[in-house]
Structure 1
Amino acid sequence: MTRILFVCHGNICRSPMAEFVMKDLVAAAGAADRFEIASAATSAEEIGNGVYSPARQELARHGIGCAGHAARRIRREDYDRYDYLIGMDRANLANMRRMWDGDPAGKVHALLEFAGRGGEDVADPWYTGDFKATWRDVLSGCQGLLQRLEEQR
């Protein structure tokens, strides 16, 4: 079982989009039983909230649901539980490493690293309102991650 945790600031836009896109991709590949996929926030601002309406609408445009999501904050024990801890931007990555006293096992990654765009941040629709750009970034990152995991299998 491969365990993946996607992380953004509030866990209402980018990281849940990545969570549900990745769940959709692994289901389409017939591999859902080999993965545990979740998402979380680095902040406490949105704890308990569902996916932000425009993000939910963008997922729905692509046939992906996100019912039942409730934002949560990363916890210290997440580092041991998950194999991949995937941040959406540099600030998320810094906050993740701070929470987990670094990254001794090399589990922390930027999502776009898997799309061959290391060093780039996933577009943040909270500020731009451009959920299509976020969709494109999330999809390419998740497709690249799944491809890498399948190659390593």
Structure 2
Amino acid sequence: MINVLFVCLGNICRSPMAEAVFKNLVEKENLNEKIQVDSAATSSWHIGDPPHKGTISKLKEYNISTEGMVGRQLEKTDYEKFDYIIGMDASNVTNIREILGQPDHPKIIRFLDLTDHKKDVPDPYYTGDFQETYDLVIEGCQALLNSIKSNHEDQFN
């Protein structure tokens, strides 16, 4: 099983959006038995909260479920549980490395570094632009899935 964790500041906008989109892609490719997905926050602000209403609304437009998703905070034990720990922006990556005590491990990456954009995913909590975030998340999730399938070919044949 390959375990993927998406991380942002509050775990109500970007990382749950990425979790839901990635789960949707994994299901469409019938890879549920091979890839497990979760999301978390670097802060404790929204522990137990559902995704932001803007995230829920945007995902509903594309028939992507957020059912059962609630905010949680990144924990030290996540380092051992997850094969990929994806920060939605550079600040998230810095905080992830600090929280996990792993200053430079290759399993911790910035999400859009997997794409040609090589930039941060803007936080729609502040920008209000959930469509821009969704478009970048779709692109990043597809790039991540392609990378996982390429890096773990033996598990997908």
Does the 8 Å CA contact 1:123/1:137 hold for their aligned counterparts?
no
Deviation per CA, 1:79-121: give whole Å up to 9, x if none.
Answer: 0110000000011011001011224542101110112222x10
Partner of 1:123: 122
Post-superposition, which runs of at least 4 consecutive aligned residues in structure 1 deviate over 6 A? none
Does the 8 Å CA contact 2:97/2:104 hold for their aligned counterparts?
no
Partner of 2:81: 81
Q: Tell me: CA distance 1:103–1:80, structure 2 relative to 1, closer, same or farther (3 Å).
A: farther
Shift of 1:33: 1.0
Cα distance in 1 for residues equivalent to 2:65 and 2:13: 13
Partner of 1:136: 135
Letter of the aligned partner of 2:144 in structure 1?
L
Letter of the aligned partner of 2:143 in structure 1?
G
| Aligned-residue RMSD, C-alpha | 1.0
Cα distance in 1 for residues equivalent to 2:69 and 2:149: 27
Q: What secondary structure does 2:33 align onto?
A: helix
Q: Tell me: CA distance 1:83–1:103, structure 2 relative to 1, closer, same or farther (3 Å).
A: farther
Please report the TM-score for the alignment, with normalisation by the length of structure 1: 0.96
1:30 aligns with 2:30: yes
Name stretches of at least 5 consecutive residues in structure 1 with no aligned partner.
none
Letter of the aligned partner of 1:53 in structure 2?
K
Q: What secondary structure does 1:21 align onto?
A: helix
1:148 aligns with 2:147: yes
Please report the TM-score for the alignment, with normalisation by the length of structure 2: 0.94
Q: What secondary structure does 2:97 align onto?
A: helix
Count of aligned positions: 152
